[in-house]
Structure 1
């Protein structure tokens, strides 16, 4: 199964829908040990998303990354290679937020319960989630990571990272009809060609070592800013769901 998975991954990343991080750079190998690569089977074929480990048995991602089956790769830098650090785990249960709306991407968040627990290592460990009620402020500098294209014509199989700045809500509410400041974050300076894009969906926005957002959607041409799901708004649902499904 593993060689097939890697082959499918390579084929997938050559397609137009693989998405990209724009204006970023190659990450130092395994410097984002919480990152997960999701290979998703659905009626429309294979797609890919990002995700991130929040507990040994749970990955958090975007609600629109749902499929009939999902394979999770942890501990990867180059997803085309069989790295000894990699762990391949299938998803036992995908729990999309009950109020997810596919037409406007509201409540675009999903928990994936893994079939077996991830083994912690230097390359695989969970990321912290928001605690308390302090809201992420405009101007905060955060990092997004993901696999995919680095331009419209050039792909990559290695993890990319990009530094992005949180924007005032008006930058997104003036551009996106359904932007909701209570449950979403506006990210990416419109004057800089740096952003996350389609194939990076589900990946985390990490600020001061805390996952604050999830890549949700943006402009069709990839120009910033983009919209991220605000994790803090969903912490009660996340905690309740993981507690209910505890082994």
Structure 2
């Protein structure tokens, strides 16, 4: 999916979504002090032309995040400079604040994680 960009921390693999020219939405447990992210990542085994590595200027964790039970596990990363949008790096379209999402609304999910056989994946996966 070209409209959802992933990020790769140097110390651990975490996913994130570009939501503006300088902002990435991610999980709070991924805010471990990493200094770099990689946008446009697809195949972890190779450096592709679509990828851009940027430094992180600031991280913001949800004030009520609980790392024992992962409650409010959400955070923001501010990039050191604005991202130039390309076919591989576009922000996700987020709903307005008051938008009600119907029950059982189909959506997409992306990540590397593990496949149906429990094997780690190097290629970005998605599901609906």
Among 1, 4, 7, the residue aligned to 1:37: 7
Contact 2:8 2:39 in 1 (8 A): no
How far the C-alpha of 1:157 sits from its partner, in A, is 1.1
Name the CA distance, whole Å, in 2 between partners of 1:121 and 1:47.
26
What's the TM-score, normalizing by structure 2? Answer: 0.88
Shift of 1:104: 2.6
* TM-score (norm. length: structure 1): 0.48
Given that 2:15 and 2:26 are in contact with CA atoms closer than 8 Å, whether structure 1 keeps it comes out as yes
Which blocks of at least 5 consecutive residues in structure 2 are unaligned?
Answer: none
Matched, 1:126 2:94: no
Shift of 1:132: 4.0
| Counterparts of 2:101 and 2:108, CA distance in 1 | 14
Give the secondary structure class of the aligned counterpart of 1:49: coil
Greater RCO structure (CA 8 Å; 6+ sep): 2
CA distance in 2, matches of 1:139, 1:148: 23
Give every structure 1 segment of 4 or more consecutive aligned residues whose post-TM-superposition deviation is greater than 4 Å: none
**What is residue 100 of structure 2 aligned with on the other side?**
135
Contact 1:93–1:114 under 8 Å retained in 2: yes
The structure carrying a bigger helix percent of its residues is: 1
| Residue 55, structure 1, aligned to residue 25, structure 2 | no
Greater strand share, 1 or 2?
1
- Report how many aligned residue pairs link the two structures: 127
Q: How does 1:211-230 map to 2 (within 5 A)?
A: none
Whole-Å separation in 1 of the counterparts to 2:92 and 2:33: 26
- What is the rounded CA distance, in whole Å, between the counterparts of 1:35 and 1:78 in structure 2? 12
Contact 2:2–2:87, Cα closer than 8 Å, also in 1: no
Matched residue SS, 2:29 = helix
* Local SS of the residue matching 1:93: strand
Number of the residue aligned with 1:108: 73
How far 1:131 moved relative to its partner? Answer: 0.5
Range that drifts further, 70-79 or 105-114: 70-79
Q: Considering only CA atoms, is the larger Rg found in Structure 1 or Structure 2?
A: 1
Equivalent in the alignment of 2:43? 78
